[in-house]
Amino acid sequence: QVQLQESGPGLLKPSQTLSLTCNVSGSSMTTDSYYWSWIRQPAGKGLEWIGRIFSSGNTNYNPSLKSRVTMSIDASKSHFSLKVTSVTAADTAVYFCARNNYYFFDSWGPGSLVTVSS
Amino acid sequence: EIVLTQSPDTLSLSPGEGATLSCRANQGIRNYLAWYQQKPGQAPRLLIYDASIRATGIPARFSGSGSGTDFTLTISSLESEDFAVYYCQQRSNFIAFGQGTRLE
């Protein structure tokens, strides 16, 4: 059974860079053909897909965030990462990592709250 | 850009009743639609993919239908644990979700 777990700082100041890592167990990132995604959810609001990465390093990003987002992967260590530059209060959200099975998300991490505040 | 619009925003029902949730796309998306359930403080859970295929472990009271632009999630007889927020999701040039329907 695949399990995902997000980790990273929970509090940032405006203009800083958000960095999160998702550790994956129960699924081989080197041999299984899945994309791995980041999705975020501001408090009381809906879900926003941020982007995804394949084991090869191939990425796709949401056009609305593309200029500030970078994703990376270390499949041999079973983790992938997210960086969002120049954060503002609008980036305050719960950030989920998820396994992208074709186009849908069949496994999710529990989520990591990131707050941007001066 | 493909936009998903869910209706209603809120659906008020009682246990034992049936629920019908709608998701409409502004362009045809064939059957590339998934449904998720999210409870407070939890990650979403996949219910349905390819518009009508139940994910592993999902009870038979959940069913999905539709193709093209109009999709429906039906819960045949509500149980207490079904009261949650439901999202639809599509893939096109990029992945996007509907705004959600709160089932209360």
The mean pLDDT value for B56-72 works out to 97
Q: Does A110 or B94 have the greater pLDDT score?
A: A110
Q: Is any Cβ of chain A less than 8 angstroms from the Cβ of B102?
A: no
Q: For all residues of chain B together, what is the average pLDDT?
A: 96
Residues sharing a CB contact under 8 Å with residue A100, sequence separation 6 or more, in sequence order: A34, A35, A36, A37, A52
* Interface contact A105-B98, CB threshold 8 A: no
**Cβ–Cβ contact B58 with A under 8 A:** no
Q: DSSP E strands: which ranges in B1-104? A: 4-7, 10-11, 19-25, 33-38, 45-49, 53-54, 62-67, 70-75, 85-90, 96-97, 101-103
Picking from B43, B94, B98, the nearest residue to A108 by CB comes out as B43
Which residues, in sequence order, are bridge partners of residue A115? A11
- Residue A105: its chain B contacts at CB < 8 A? 34, 36, 44, 46, 89
Q: What is the pLDDT of residue A27?
A: 86
Q: How confident is the model over A26-78, as pLDDT tens digits?
A: 988 888 889 999 999 999 999 999 999 998 899 999 999 999 999 999 988 89
Arithmetic mean of pLDDT over chain A: 95
Looking at chain A, the whole-number percentage of residues with pLDDT higher than 90 is: 85
pLDDT of residue A52: 95
- Residues A96-114, mean pLDDT to the nearest whole number: 95
Alpha-carbon distance of B103 to A109, in angstroms, equals: 23
Give tens-digit pLDDT for B4-36: 999 999 999 999 999 999 999 999 999 999 999
Please tell me the predicted confidence (pLDDT) of residue A29: 86
Residue of A nearest to B97 (CA): A47
Confidence of residue A102 (pLDDT cuts 50, 70, 90): confident
pLDDT band at B94 (very low <50, low <70, confident <90, very high): confident
Chain A contact for B91 (CB, 8 A cutoff): yes
Mean pLDDT of A94-112: 95
Q: Tell me whether B73 touches chain A (CB under 8 Å).
A: no
- The DSSP call for residue A77 is G
Q: Scanning every residue of chain A, which has its alpha carbon at the shortest distance from the alpha carbon of B9?
A: A46
Note whether B64 contacts A: Cβ–Cβ < 8 A.
no
Average pLDDT over residues B35-51: 98
Which one, of B103, B62, B25, B36, lies nearest residue A107 by Cα?
Answer: B36
- Does position B93 have pLDDT exceeding 70, yes or no? no
Over residues A7-36, mean pLDDT: 93
The answer to whether the CB atoms of A60 and B98 lie below 8 A apart is no
Q: What percent of chain B has pLDDT over 70?
A: 99
Query: Could you say which of B43, B46, B96 has the minimum Cβ distance to residue A49?
Result: B96
